[in-house]
Amino acid sequence: MTKKLAKSAISQKRVLDAAARIFRDFGYAGTTMRAIADEADLKAGSIYYHYKSKDELISAVLDIGIHAVIDTVQNALKALPEDASGRQRIETAIHAHLSAIIDIGDYTLATRRVFGQVPEAIRAKNMRLRNSYGSMWQDILVEAQKRGEFRADANITLARLFILGALNWTVEWFKPGGRTIDDVAREFSSVVVDGLLDKQAGEISGSAQPPSGPRVRAI
């Protein structure tokens, strides 16, 4: 166990980044080792020095994709005060999730496009990570509901599926240079939270009232 196999992390990352881009564009079967090698300025055979098979490569890409999201969101939530409201937590989580998946967009998109086509064993392993991320969200929502911030009759599980579905879809249309992540996160939170907020309990935090702009008359 005292081997000193270092294997130059930077070359490894070069191959991994290239793989993510190619997997993203051509899917699992459509991705060839030769195409990855081209993208990474290598010859096909050389990849096998870093990864021992195509499957090990896609597995690494998948894990990086979900891990980045989990870490980013977890850290953002930890930075919140203990008594943060459900709204704050959701806004924070949405913003962090969007930042993460757009930051490492190649990996996220690769994951989305390839997940259904990957060998069962690899998919199952990655699925465990995704499920643990799902429970993270479930906890936030259930907590807020228990505290009376969210409607008691809301189906939290379905709401969570709705939120994560919409979030994950973002990478398909979000293009850097257009809308900012802040804008998207704010608008998204507004749609989701103001739908979950218990109106019977009266308005709690701010940001629910339209800021300025033209007011529409009621009837």
Q: Which residues bind a copy of itself (CB under 8 A)?
A: 24-31, 109, 113-114, 116-117, 145, 148, 151-155, 158-159, 161-170, 172-173, 179, 183-184, 187-188, 190-196, 198-203, 208-211, 213-219
In the complex with DNA, the residue whose CB is nearer, 32 or 205, is: 32
In the complex with DNA, the residue whose CB is nearer, 9 or 201, is: 9
Torsion of CA 166, 203, 146, 76, to 10 degrees: 50
Q: What does 53 interact with, of DNA, a copy of itself, none (CB < 5 to 8 A by kind)?
A: DNA
In the complex with a copy of itself, the residue whose CB is nearer, 4 or 199, is: 199
In the complex with a copy of itself, the residue whose CB is nearer, 69 or 196, is: 196
Q: What does 44 interact with, of DNA, a copy of itself, none (CB < 5 to 8 A by kind)?
A: DNA
Give the separation between CA 172 and CA 38, rounded to whole angstroms: 25
Strand partners, 150: 197
Helices of type H across the chain:
9-30, 33-39, 44-50, 54-78, 86-103, 105-114, 120-146, 156-173, 181-196
Other Cβ atoms closer than 10 A to 174: 16
The CA-atom distances, in angstroms, between 156 and each of 83, 93, 97, 151, 160 are: 21, 16, 19, 10, 6
Least distance in angstroms from the C-beta of 174 to DNA: 29
Q: What does 74 interact with, of a copy of itself, DNA, none (CB < 5 to 8 A by kind)?
A: none
Least distance in angstroms from the C-beta of 7 to a copy of itself: 30
Least distance in angstroms from the C-beta of 78 to a copy of itself: 26
In the complex with a copy of itself, the residue whose CB is nearer, 50 or 144, is: 144
- What's the one-letter identity of residue 91? E
Report helix, strand or coil for 111: helix
